[in-house]
Amino acid sequence: MGMIGGGQGSFIGDVHRKAASIDGMIDLVCGAFSSNAERSIASAKALGISEKRAYKNFEEMIEKEAAMPEEERMDIVSIVTPNHMHFPPAKLALEKGFHVICDKPMTLTLEEAKELQKIVKKTGKVFGLTHTYTGYPMVKQAREMVNKGDLGEIRKVNVHYLQGWMATAVENGDNKQASWRVDPKKSGIGGALGDIGTHAENLVEYVTGIEIDEIAADLSTFGQGRVLDDDGNILLRLKNGAKGTMSISQIAAGEENDLSIRVYGTKGSFEWHQENPNELTVRMLEEPKKIYTPGGNGTYPASADYTRIPPGHPEGYLEAFATLYRSFAKEVNQVKKGEKQSEILDFPTVADGLRGMQFIYAAVDSGKKNAAWVSLK
State the pLDDT at residue 333.
Answer: 95
State the pLDDT at residue 343.
Answer: 79
State the pLDDT at residue 154.
Answer: 98
Which of the residues in the chain have pLDDT under 50? none
The three-state DSSP-derived secondary structure of the chain is CEEECCCCCCHHHHHHHHHHHCCCCCCCCEEECCCCHHHHHHHHHHCCCCHHHECCCHHHHHHHHHCCCCCCCCCEEEECCCHHHCHHHHHHHHHCCCEEEECCCCCCCHHHHHHHHHHHHHHCCCEEECCHHHHCHHHHHHHHHHHCCCCCCEEEEEEEEECCCCCCCHHHCCCHHHHHHCCHHHHCCCCHHHHHHHHHHHHHHHHHCCCEEEEEEEEECCCCCCCCCCEEEEEEEECCCCEEEEEEECCCCCCCCEEEEEEEECCEEEEEECCCCCCEEEEECCCCCEEECCCCCCCCHHHHCCCCCCCCCCCCHHHHHHHHHHHHHHHHHHHHCCCCCCCCCCCCCHHHHHHHHHHHHHHHHHHHCCCCCEECC
CATH topology of domain 2-125: Rossmann fold (3.40.50)
Q: What is the CATH number of domain 136-308+355-375?
A: 3.30.360.10
Q: Where in the chain is the domain with CATH 3.40.50.720?
A: 2-125
State the pLDDT at residue 345.
Answer: 85
Question: What is the pTM assigned to this prediction?
Answer: 0.96
Q: Where in the chain is the domain with CATH 3.30.360.10?
A: 136-308+355-375
